[in-house]
Chain A
Amino acid sequence: MTHRRILVAGSLSLALLAAACHEDELFSSLPPLYTGGAMFQRYVAMGNSITAGVQSGGINDSTQRQSYAVLVAAVMGGDPFYYPSLNAPGCPPPFTNIFTQARVGGAGSTGATCLLRSPNIPPYVSNVAVPSAETVDMLVNGPPPAANSNPLTLLFLGGRTQVQAMMAARPTFVSVWIGNNDLLGAAQVGDTTAATDTAAFRVNYAKALDSIQATGASAVLIAVGLGHLVNNVALPFFSRGTTWYGLWAGGAFAPAPFTVAANCAPPRGDTVLVSFPYGFGLLAAAQAGTPTTLDCTAPPVIEPAETRFFAVLQLRYNAIIQAQATARGWAFTDSVNFTLDSLAGVANQFAPFPNTAATCSGSPFGLAFSCDGIHPNQATQQKIARKIVRAINAKYASAIPTP
Chain B
Amino acid sequence: MRRSVRYALCLFAGLPALLGAQGFGIYEQGACSMGRAGTGVAAPCTDGSAIFFNPAGLAGLKGGRATVGLTLLDVEGGFTDDIFQHTTKLNDPFLAIPQVYVAYGVTPKLGVGIGLFAPYGLQTRWPLSFDGRFAGYDNILRSVYLQPTVAYQVTPWLSLGGGFDVVFGKVELNQRLDLAMAPVPTTLIPVPPGSPPVLFGQFGIAPGTDFADAHLEASKTTVTAHWGWIIKVNDKLSIGGRYLMHAKFNYEGTAQFSQVLTGLRLPADIPVTPTLTLPAGLLIDNFLAAPITSGGLDLFNTLLVTQAVSTTITNPEQVLLGVAYKPRKDWTLFGDYQFTRWGKRFYTLQIDFANSLLNRVLHERYHNTNGFRVAAEWEKDAKWTLRGGYLYHQGAAPAETVTPLLPEGQRSEFTGGFTMKLRPDLTADVAYQYIRQNDRRGRTREPLFNQAATTGMNNGVYDFFAHLFGVSLGYAF
A residues contacting B by CB (< 8 A) are: 3, 7, 14, 17-18, 21-28, 79, 84, 112, 114, 116-119, 121-125, 141-143, 147, 149-151, 153-160, 165, 168, 170
Q: How far is the CB of A148 from chain B (nearest CB, A)?
A: 9
A17 to B201, CA, bound (A): 47
Asked whether, in the complex, the Cβ of A26 is within 8 Å of the Cβ of B206, the reply is no
Inside 8 A of A17's CB, which chain B residues have their CB? 392, 412
- Nearest residue (CB) in A for B178 is A121
Identify which of B82, B266, B269, B376 contacts A26 (C-beta below 8 A).
B82
Asked whether, in the complex, the Cβ of B204 is within 8 Å of the Cβ of A26, the reply is no
Interface centre among A27, A121, A124 (most CB of B within 10 A): A121
Asked whether, in the complex, the Cβ of A121 is within 8 Å of the Cβ of B207, the reply is yes
Any chain A CB within 8 A of the CB of B439?
A: yes
Q: How far is the CB of B270 from chain A (nearest CB, A)?
A: 6
A3 to B380, CA, bound (A): 12
Identify which of A21, A24, A114, A141 contacts B441 (C-beta below 8 A).
A24
Q: How many B residues, CB 8 Å from partner?
A: 46
Inside 8 A of B80's CB, which chain A residues have their CB? 26
Inside 8 A of B16's CB, which chain A residues have their CB? none
A121 to B199, CA, bound (A): 9
Asked whether, in the complex, the Cβ of A142 is within 8 Å of the Cβ of B280, the reply is yes
A18 to B201, CA, bound (A): 44
Q: How far is the CB of B462 from chain A (nearest CB, A)?
A: 9
Task: List 14 interface pairs A-B (beta carbons < 8 Å), by A numbering.
Answer: A3-B331, A23-B438, A26-B80, A116-B198, A116-B202, A121-B181, A121-B202, A143-B268, A143-B281, A151-B268, A154-B270, A158-B201, A158-B205, A159-B267
Any chain A CB within 8 A of the CB of B460?
A: yes
Any chain A CB within 8 A of the CB of B196?
A: yes
Inside 8 A of A150's CB, which chain B residues have their CB? 267-268
Any chain A CB within 8 A of the CB of B85?
A: yes
Q: How far is the CB of B304 from chain A (nearest CB, A)?
A: 21
Inside 8 A of A122's CB, which chain B residues have their CB? 207
Besides A124-B83, A149-B280, 17 other A-B contacts (C-beta < 8 A) = A3-B331, A14-B390, A14-B412, A18-B412, A21-B412, A23-B438, A116-B202, A118-B202, A121-B201, A123-B207, A142-B281, A149-B268, A154-B203, A156-B204, A158-B209, A159-B267, A170-B84
- Nearest residue (CB) in A for B414 is A14
Interface residues of B in 352-391 (CB under 8 A from A): 376, 378, 388, 390
Asked whether, in the complex, the Cβ of A123 is within 8 Å of the Cβ of B268, the reply is no
Inside 8 A of A154's CB, which chain B residues have their CB? 203-204, 266-268, 270
Any chain A CB within 8 A of the CB of B461?
A: yes
Any chain A CB within 8 A of the CB of B271?
A: yes
A28 to B86, CA, bound (A): 11
Q: How far is the CB of B323 from chain A (nearest CB, A)?
A: 17
Inside 8 A of B82's CB, which chain A residues have their CB? 26-28
- Contacts A14-B390, A79-B83, A123-B83: A21 and B268 contacting too (C-beta < 8 A)? no
Asked whether, in the complex, the Cβ of B438 is within 8 Å of the Cβ of A158, the reply is no
- Contacts A14-B414, A21-B410, A124-B83: A158 and B202 contacting too (C-beta < 8 A)? no
Inside 8 A of A153's CB, which chain B residues have their CB? 267-268
Asked whether, in the complex, the Cβ of B85 is within 8 Å of the Cβ of A28, the reply is yes
Any chain A CB within 8 A of the CB of B180?
A: yes
A122 to B84, CA, bound (A): 13
A117 to B265, CA, bound (A): 19
Q: How far is the CB of A10 from chain B (nearest CB, A)?
A: 8
A27 to B84, CA, bound (A): 11
Q: How far is the CB of A17 from chain B (nearest CB, A)?
A: 7
A121 to B266, CA, bound (A): 19
Asked whether, in the complex, the Cβ of A119 is within 8 Å of the Cβ of B438, the reply is no
Asked whether, in the complex, the Cβ of B85 is within 8 Å of the Cβ of A117, the reply is no
Asked whether, in the complex, the Cβ of A25 is within 8 Å of the Cβ of B461, the reply is yes
Inside 8 A of A84's CB, which chain B residues have their CB? 204
Asked whether, in the complex, the Cβ of B268 is within 8 Å of the Cβ of A159, the reply is no
Any chain A CB within 8 A of the CB of B246?
A: no
- Nearest residue (CB) in A for B198 is A116
Any chain A CB within 8 A of the CB of B109?
A: no
A96 to B280, CA, bound (A): 31
Any chain A CB within 8 A of the CB of B284?
A: yes
- Contacts A14-B390, A26-B460, A159-B204: A147 and B267 contacting too (C-beta < 8 A)? yes
A149 to B265, CA, bound (A): 12
A122 to B331, CA, bound (A): 61
The 9 closest A-B pairs by CB, nearest first: A159-B264, A149-B267, A141-B267, A158-B204, A121-B201, A24-B441, A116-B202, A18-B412, A153-B267
- Nearest residue (CB) in B for A155 is B204
A116 to B281, CA, bound (A): 20
A331 to B136, CA, bound (A): 44
A165 to B388, CA, bound (A): 54
- Nearest residue (CB) in A for B279 is A143
Q: How far is the CB of A403 from chain B (nearest CB, A)?
A: 25
Asked whether, in the complex, the Cβ of B202 is within 8 Å of the Cβ of A117, the reply is yes
Inside 8 A of A158's CB, which chain B residues have their CB? 180, 201, 203-206, 209, 264
Q: How far is the CB of B338 from chain A (nearest CB, A)?
A: 18
Any chain A CB within 8 A of the CB of B436?
A: yes
- Contacts A158-B204, A159-B205: A143 and B269 contacting too (C-beta < 8 A)? yes
Interface residues of B in 326-356 (CB under 8 A from A): 331
Asked whether, in the complex, the Cβ of B181 is within 8 Å of the Cβ of A26, the reply is no
Inside 8 A of B89's CB, which chain A residues have their CB? none
Interface residues of B in 428-446 (CB under 8 A from A): 436, 438-441
Q: How far is the CB of B374 from chain A (nearest CB, A)?
A: 8
Asked whether, in the complex, the Cβ of A116 is within 8 Å of the Cβ of B203, the reply is yes
Asked whether, in the complex, the Cβ of A119 is within 8 Å of the Cβ of B202, the reply is yes
Q: How far is the CB of B389 from chain A (nearest CB, A)?
A: 10
Asked whether, in the complex, the Cβ of A23 is within 8 Å of the Cβ of B203, the reply is no
Asked whether, in the complex, the Cβ of A155 is within 8 Å of the Cβ of B199, the reply is no
Inside 8 A of A147's CB, which chain B residues have their CB? 267
A24 to B270, CA, bound (A): 45
Asked whether, in the complex, the Cβ of B271 is within 8 Å of the Cβ of A151, the reply is yes
Interface centre among A79, A142, A159 (most CB of B within 10 A): A159
Interface centre among A22, A26, A114, A150 (most CB of B within 10 A): A26
Identify which of B202, B204, B439 contacts A25 (C-beta below 8 A).
B439
A366 to B181, CA, bound (A): 43
- Nearest residue (CB) in A for B266 is A154
Quick one: CB contact mask for B260-297 with A, threshold 8 Å, 1 for yes? 00101111111100000000110010000000000000
- Contacts A121-B181, A125-B206: A141 and B265 contacting too (C-beta < 8 A)? yes
Asked whether, in the complex, the Cβ of A121 is within 8 Å of the Cβ of B461, the reply is no
A116 to B378, CA, bound (A): 71
- Nearest residue (CB) in A for B436 is A18
A123 to B388, CA, bound (A): 47
Identify which of B181, B378, B392, B439 contacts A23 (C-beta below 8 A).
B439
Q: How far is the CB of A398 from chain B (nearest CB, A)?
A: 22
Inside 8 A of A118's CB, which chain B residues have their CB? 202
Inside 8 A of A27's CB, which chain B residues have their CB? 82, 441
- Nearest residue (CB) in A for B81 is A26
Inside 8 A of B436's CB, which chain A residues have their CB? 18
Asked whether, in the complex, the Cβ of A24 is within 8 Å of the Cβ of B440, the reply is yes
Quick one: CB contact mask for B175-212 with A, threshold 8 Å, 1 for yes? 00000110000000000000010110111111101000
- Nearest residue (CB) in A for B378 is A3
Asked whether, in the complex, the Cβ of B204 is within 8 Å of the Cβ of A117, the reply is yes
Asked whether, in the complex, the Cβ of A168 is within 8 Å of the Cβ of B267, the reply is no
- Nearest residue (CB) in A for B179 is A158
A147 to B268, CA, bound (A): 10
- Nearest residue (CB) in B for A157 is B204
A121 to B205, CA, bound (A): 9
Asked whether, in the complex, the Cβ of B280 is within 8 Å of the Cβ of A119, the reply is no
